[in-house]
Chains A and B, each alone.
Chain A
Amino acid sequence: MNMGFETILFEKKDSVAEITLNRPQAYNAFTEQMNKEIKKALVNATKDDDIKCIVITGSGKAFCSGQDLSEVDNQTNHANFLRDRYHPMLKTLKETPKPVIAAINGTAAGAGMGLALACDFRLMRSNAKLVSAFMNIGLVPDSGFLYHLPRMVGYAKALEIAALGKPLTAEEARELGVVTNVLNEEEWDSGVNEFVLRIASLPTKAFSLIKRYMQNSMNIDYDTFLEQEAYAQRVAGLSEDHQEGLQAFIEKRKPNFIGK
């Protein structure tokens, strides 16, 4: 079931695919292999019709500590490093129509924070931190960080976080709207599970349209957006879930969505 992966665990349970970054001795730091395995797992989950929702989490204490610096030296071309390793993973994450939840079980630093920000939802353990570590080693936040963060918290706050690099506590992240919910140690497993099942039971076809067009809406003019809204509603209007929703409303029962 783990598809020969070595740096991640990949598990499908009912309608949920879980990707666990699994290099706990290195706080789940990214290696080239891990970037590639995450991408491959995302593609697999995307193609699997039974999967309605994808979870990314870490094993051990950390979510992900960012790039494994043992792979970086003075010969590293940082541009190609991103193009070859991170961008294919990030583009796959953006393109998957399925909801992706980052279950931030422990600290997410550097590109690990970038990965969390690139997901659709974030849940965070109360003692975890989000750390933009890049400036500490004279680099700029990458892996989509500078794209996603200002869209979530506004430019001024994002600049502050990116430049000053002060770790965000789970509570601060929640107040800023970066994470949906903060869960303490005891409620973590059940709380994540509950949220994941709630997302998986949504009409995920409609969700995919929300994701597709809300992302677009940040980058286009109003008239273009309104046309896209018409596309989105036309496609949703043709979905089986919409028919089910209408029927359930008439019958005064809870709808049973199948994501089609």
Chain B
Amino acid sequence: MNKYIKAFSEDHVGVIQLDRPNVLNALNREMVTEIVSQLQSFENNEDIRVIVIRGNELAFAAGADIDEMRDASPLDLELLNPFAEWDKISLIKKPILAAVNGFALGGGFELALHCDVILAAEDAKFGFPEVKLGVLPGAGGTQFLTKAMGTRKALEWIWLGEQMTANEALKYGVINRVVAKELVVEETMRLAFQLVEQPPISLRLIKEAVYAARDLPLQEGKNLERKNFYLAFASEDQKEGMQAFIDKRPPTFKGR
């Protein structure tokens, strides 16, 4: 039974709602484990095509539990390897959307950056305050943010530890859309339902290829794209999609 999150599904969309409202959804290790387990459960559930992670009105997630790490020794951390859990998020092949209201700070920002798409409220705030505690982001923050906005801007933000508005995050390509704060969940679900209508096999092959573009040398990325393109031809949805195009009718995708 989950202690720190709520999980439910709605028309093929699996929703994870972060639920530690008394601490603005600050992440502790148990909570990260719950999120990862829930993601894996949605990943293995054939009925789920798209996953949404959301917080509440005040916060997506404002950082991590400081108490959990304050007195840790380097060796404690090495042996505990707490961030390995986060790597499992990147293995999820279904689209993951983040709906951000309020604060996405520190580990909360890193959780959003582990998602494929981020929608945020006009007054949402993103940031890495770790520098002010004498440390730095540890769950991929320096890597994800740099890949999203480039070296110089990433350094400026992470060095200063200041909060970025949603419009700034949009301007630098860190997030996808800025929407009315009252409608963040509604708009995220609208996008999720649009993706539910798309052929799921294409979506996962596209996801893998786009991340290859980010992380691999060009030729390797192109090779992977080609293989995925060929692989798509093993699907019924490819046959349906092309037939529907010829028949001038809308396709019906089955995810096979």
Contact = CB atoms under 8 A, between A and B. Distances in A.
Contacts of A210: none
A87 to B, nearest CB: 14
A32 to B, nearest CB: 23
Interface string A158-200: 0000000000000000000000000000000000000000000
Nearest to A220: B167
Nearest to A213: B180
B145 to A, nearest CB: 25
B216 interface: no
A147 interface: no
Interface string B82-104: 00000000000000000000000
B183 interface: yes
A253 interface: no
Determine which residue in A228, A231, A235 has the highest number of CB atoms from chain B within 10 A of its CB, and name it: A231
B179 interface: yes
Interface residues of A, number: 8
Nearest to B177: A227
A129 to B, nearest CB: 36
A163 to B, nearest CB: 31
A228 B180 CA distance: 8
A238 B187 CA distance: 15
Interface string B175-201: 000011011001100000000000000
Contacts of B180: 228, 231-232, 234-235
A18 B194 CA distance: 48
Nearest to B179: A231
Interface of B: 122-123, 179-180, 182-183, 186-187
Interface of A: 95, 212, 228, 231-232, 234-235, 238
17 contacts: A95-B123, A212-B122, A228-B180, A231-B179, A231-B180, A231-B182, A231-B183, A231-B187, A232-B180, A234-B180, A234-B182, A234-B183, A234-B186, A235-B180, A235-B182, A235-B183, A238-B182
Given A235-B182, A235-B183, 7 more contacts: A212-B122, A231-B182, A232-B180, A234-B180, A234-B182, A234-B186, A238-B182
